Structure formats: C-alpha cells, structure tokens
Amino acid sequence: MVNLKESLGEALNRPIDSAFLAAFRSAFGVLMFIGAYRYWAKGWIDSILIAPAFHFHYEFFGWVAPLRGVGMYVVFLAMACSALGMAFGSWRRIASGVFFLIFTYVELCEKAAYLNHYYLVSLLALLLAFMPEGTARVPRFVLLALRLQIGLVYFFAGVAKISTDWLIHAQPLKIWLRANSDFPLFGSLLEAPGVAHAAAWLSMLLDLTAPLWLSLRSTRRFAYLAILGFHSATACFFPIGIFPWLMVLAATVFFEPGWPRRVPGLARFFSQPIDPQPRAGLCPVGAFALAAYFCLQLLLPLRHLRYPGSANWTDEGFRFAWRVMLIDKVGSVHFRLKLPGSGQRVSVEPKAFLTPFQERMMAQSPDMIVELAQHVAADYQRRFGQFPAVYADAWAAMNGRPSERLLDPNVDLTTLDPAGFTPFPILSAH
C-alpha cells in the first residue's frame, strides 16, 4: 500500500518539460483576447448583458448582476488585458486567476447565454491559475490534470451522443446539414443519404476515443489531424464562435510535454535552457483539492440521472455536463395569470420582459420558464398589489419531432423551486 502510494506520488511529481504549459497558456490567452474582442465587436456586451431588463440566474448566484452603463465595458477591458497578460505577461498565474474571476462573473450574469465552451474556458483558466510558470520543470500532475480535464470533455460529449436520436435518426445533424446545403463547393452534397449518419457515428466515436488516440504516440498525429478536420468542419457549418479553435488548442496537451521546442517557428520562443531545478510536487492539500475538483467533474455530467426523462428534453442536468451540439430545440411560451379572489385570468407574453434572444433560450428550458413565471408574478404584485398564480402554455419541438407540451399547464409555476432540485412537472414521453 505504501509502495503504491509512493509510486503514485513519484509518477505524479516526476519533473517534465514545462514548454507545453507555456505554449498552452500563451495560446489560450491569445484566443481569449480574441473572444473578448469578438464579444465586444458584435455588440453582445450591450444586447446580452446591459440591455435586458431581466436576467436569468444560476442557482446560488442569484446575487450576480451585470454592471450598468460603461461598467460592463470596463469589465471586458480588464478581461482582455488579463487575457493578454496570460499570453505575454510575466505574471501569468495572476493573470490567469484574474481572467478566471472576470470571465466567470460575466458568464454568471446571464444564464440564457450559457455555452459549454464558456464553462470550459472558466475551468481551464482556474486550472491555469494554480499551475506554475517560468522555465523550471513542472511536476507531471500538471500535464495529467489538463489531459484529464480535456479528456472528460470529449468522453462525456461522446457518451451523450450514444442515443437513438443521434445514432439511429442522425438528428439533429440531418436538420443542420440540410440547412447548410448552400455551402460553397460541396454544400449541396451534405444532404446526401448516409452523410448525416456517417457524421453522427464518426463524431461519437471520435469524441469517445480521441483522448486515447491522442495519448498514444503511434496514433497521435492522425488523431490530431482528425480533430483538426472535425473542428474545422464544425467551425464552417455552425455558428459556434471560438469553440472549435479552443478544442484544437486543448488537444495539444496530449502531445509530448516538450513539443513546442520541436515545432519550427515556435522553437525560438522556447530556446532558453530548462531550469533543471524542478518545481515542488503536489502537496497533500493540493492533492485533495485536485481530487475533489475532478470528482466534481465526474459527478456533474452524471447528475441528470437523478431526474426522470431525457436531459435533452427536460434540461435538468443538461448544463455543465458536456452535452455538446446534441439538440435542435425550439419552444413557444405564454403565461396565463390567475388572480386571487376574483379568479380573473390575464395573459402575458414573455417578450414583454425579455429580449428576443432571451425569449428564444427561455422557451426551451423549463428552469428558465419557471424563473420567469415567478418574476412575472412578482412584477404583477408590485404593480397591482396581487400575487397571481402563473401557468405556462409551453410547447417545444426537438430534433425534428412534432411539438409537445413541455410543462404541465395546470401547475402553478410560482409554487415550484426554480433551482430544479425537485424535478419540474415536465410532460411528454421523451
């Protein structure tokens, strides 16, 4: 037992070349700078964070709110500076920590804007904030932690694709590929029989096994080419921003730790001799924290199992679970308010409270429908002095199926826990 512990400790703390970490942090910083600039340039600071009068909240973070006026622009300026600090500065750990805090704050401001890759960015920035910098060798656990994090993303994304919709019906790929048949040169061929199915099976297999092929020296080159091709294709066909390039970068953590020294053009940035003095290894507290972190990373994607029905339909346990590019879902909601006493009924359209973007995202997520219903009730009470019961006429269509009711129209949504720790009264056989 002692021997096992010692050899595990030795394996985790064995000093390795830190070039991979420096390269990853710099490229990550550059990518995040581009991401922050892009968010600003597209006007999303205003349309997503400042303009909405109401914001959807994450459980435990209901107190987080965007700053008004120029405040949010200052936040993005600070985010961009910290991204550049990660890329080129000499205080890269601190820059990583600052970037993590700012980016996560922005992410927490609006639940409707949740994206899997934003969550991944937060996690990577957090890990980088605790990882060493400089030219000294680093303990091997640093590399393994990054590999495990990226490996989990691929693995759970692959597991989530093992479903009838994805593998048997090739949905929603059929819908998406059909919509892209204007793509230059080969766009019109995307709808050919078998293409959606082939893409579905290949992407599932790639997700499930990419970490393995990338880890093996003999298959690494081909695996990386496949990753590059796969993510380039998704970047061409789908509006998913920096996500493909983040994953292309992330896959480099599976290379040999000294890989940047052997890449022409990059090598000159890593020409300084490696400090033979290794960094301190993993201390017990650090080991515990890292173990707890990865336990959480294993459990969060599995939490949907405690809810009835498919997470793709219910959204319960959908976020923070690497269920990437799995569904095409559109919804339609309007609320019916029943006033106490008189029993009078009033109809409310969500667009009175939301931006079109928020409305679109809310209409497919039961938890956001419930949160808005409770806000509508509170707003009505503030204006008219009565707290109404709120019922939702909520319908959604997913992956090409006929539309169905999403929530029980006879349940007063103001009586529900918006956190969703208790399952929502979600209907349908999905």
Partner 1 sequence: MKRSALLSSVFLLTFGTVACGSRGKEDRQKVLEADTYAVILPSLAALQSRTQELGMALTEYCENPSPERLTTAQQSWLLARETYKLTAAFQVGPLEDFVTQVDFWPVRELEVENAVRSAPANSDRTYLDTLGVAARGFAPLEYLLFGAPAELSVDPNALRRCSYAKALAADIAERALFAYDAWTLGGFAQELAQANASGSQITSTQAGVDLLLNATTAALVDLTDKALARPLGEKSGGVIQPLDCESRYSGTSSQDYLAALHSVRRLWIGALEGEQGRGLTLLVRRHNIPADERVRSALDEIAAFVERLDGDICGAIVTDAPAVARALEAARRLRQLVTTEVVQVMGGTLTFSDNDGD
Residues at the interface with partner 1 (CB under 8 A): 44, 47-48, 113, 115-117, 175-176, 178-182, 186-195, 198, 238-243, 324-325, 328-332, 334, 344-347, 349, 355-357, 384, 393, 395-400, 402-403
Q: Which DSSP category does 256 fall into?
A: -
Nearest distance, CB of residue 307 and partner 1, angstroms: 21
Q: Which long-range contacts (CB under 8 A, 24 or more apart) does 302-311 make?
A: 307/423, 308/423, 309/426, 309/428, 309/430, 310/163, 310/430
Q: What DSSP element (H or E) covers 398?
A: strand 389-398
Looking at the Cβ atoms of 14 and 334, the one nearer to partner 1 is 334
Nearest distance, CB of residue 343 and partner 1, angstroms: 11
Nearest distance, CB of residue 275 and partner 1, angstroms: 40
Q: For residues 407 and 392, is the Cβ–Cβ distance under 8 A?
A: yes
Nearest distance, CB of residue 292 and partner 1, angstroms: 27
At 192, list the tokens: 């050919």
At 41, list the tokens: 């340039």
Looking at the Cβ atoms of 83 and 333, the one nearer to partner 1 is 333
Looking at the Cβ atoms of 7 and 188, the one nearer to partner 1 is 188
Q: CA–CA distance from 278 to each of 92, 365, 396 (Å)?
A: 18, 49, 56
Q: What are phi and psi of 338, to 5 degrees?
A: -115, 120
Looking at the Cβ atoms of 19 and 407, the one nearer to partner 1 is 407
Q: For residues 25 and 86, is the Cβ–Cβ distance under 8 A?
A: yes
Nearest distance, CB of residue 350 and partner 1, angstroms: 12
Nearest distance, CB of residue 16 and partner 1, angstroms: 33
Q: For residues 187 and 413, is the Cβ–Cβ distance under 8 A?
A: no
Distance CA 358, CA 353 (A): 9
**Strand partners of residue 335:** 348, 392
Looking at the Cβ atoms of 189 and 291, the one nearer to partner 1 is 189
Residue 201 CB neighbours (<10 A)? 14
Looking at the Cβ atoms of 90 and 347, the one nearer to partner 1 is 347
Provide the CB-side half-sphere exposure for 348 (13 A, CA): 26
Distance CA 103, CA 78 (A): 10
Nearest distance, CB of residue 385 and partner 1, angstroms: 12
Q: Which residues contact 190 (CB under 8 A, 6 or more apart)?
A: 177, 178, 180, 181, 183, 237
Distance CA 318, CA 304 (A): 7
Nearest distance, CB of residue 372 and partner 1, angstroms: 17
**Strand partners of residue 395:** 332, 405
Distance CA 244, CA 26 (A): 17
Looking at the Cβ atoms of 54 and 243, the one nearer to partner 1 is 243
Nearest distance, CB of residue 178 and partner 1, angstroms: 4
Looking at the Cβ atoms of 77 and 397, the one nearer to partner 1 is 397
Nearest distance, CB of residue 174 and partner 1, angstroms: 9
Q: What DSSP element (H or E) covers 335?
A: strand 329-338
At 427, list the tokens: 């209907």
Q: Read off the amino acid at residue 176.
A: W
Q: For residues 111 and 57, is the Cβ–Cβ distance under 8 A?
A: yes
Looking at the Cβ atoms of 147 and 334, the one nearer to partner 1 is 334
Distance CA 274, CA 289 (A): 28
Task: Return the SS3 of 89.
Answer: coil
Q: Length of the chain in residues, anyone? A: 430
Looking at the Cβ atoms of 281 and 409, the one nearer to partner 1 is 409
Looking at the Cβ atoms of 51 and 274, the one nearer to partner 1 is 51
Nearest distance, CB of residue 169 and partner 1, angstroms: 12
